[in-house]
Amino acid sequence: MLRAGGWACITDPDLGVKQADTFTCVHCQKVTHVRAGASPYELGGHCRLCDALICKECVGKECTPFMKQVEEAEERAFRMMNYGSV
């Protein structure tokens, strides 16, 4: 996989070492293992707004980058902690 988002390895005493590239969904952070020869449609999709790969569950849904969700959650938590309300 070109520019893989990660690498996974299963070490099995019978099957040996099984390796796979992975990518992390830019919307929900789910890690998807990329099997060699798998259909791209089975693995997920590509968000044109984020210009990054997304998982199968996020295909067809609204673009909500995970970092944006993190910032919103942190902002809510900050307001709750300091002002007592969101």
Partner 1 sequence: MARYSVSNGSSGTMQANTTTYKTQISLTAATGGTTLRRGWVYDLNVGADGTPADNAMVYKVDRQTTVGTATTITAAPLDAADAAALLVSSANHTAEPTVTASTQLLEVAVNQRASYRWVAAPGSELIVPATNVAGLGLRSKSPAYTGTVTAQWQFYE
For residue 55, the cross-strand partners are 44
36 binds partner 1 (CB under 8 A): no
63 binds partner 1 (CB under 8 A): no
CB of 41 to partner 1, least distance (A): 20
8 binds partner 1 (CB under 8 A): yes
CB of 45 to partner 1, least distance (A): 16
Comparing CA positions, the residue from 67, 62, 58 lying closest to residue 49 is 62
DSSP code for 57 = G
Comparing CA positions, the residue from 24, 18, 68 lying closest to residue 44 is 24
CB of 24 to partner 1, least distance (A): 4
Please report the beta strands in the chain, taking only residues with DSSP state E, as ranges in sequence order. Answer: 6-12, 16-24, 31-34, 44-47, 52-55
Interface positions with partner 1 (CB under 8 A)? 3-15, 22-24, 28-31, 33, 66-67, 70, 73-74, 77, 81-82
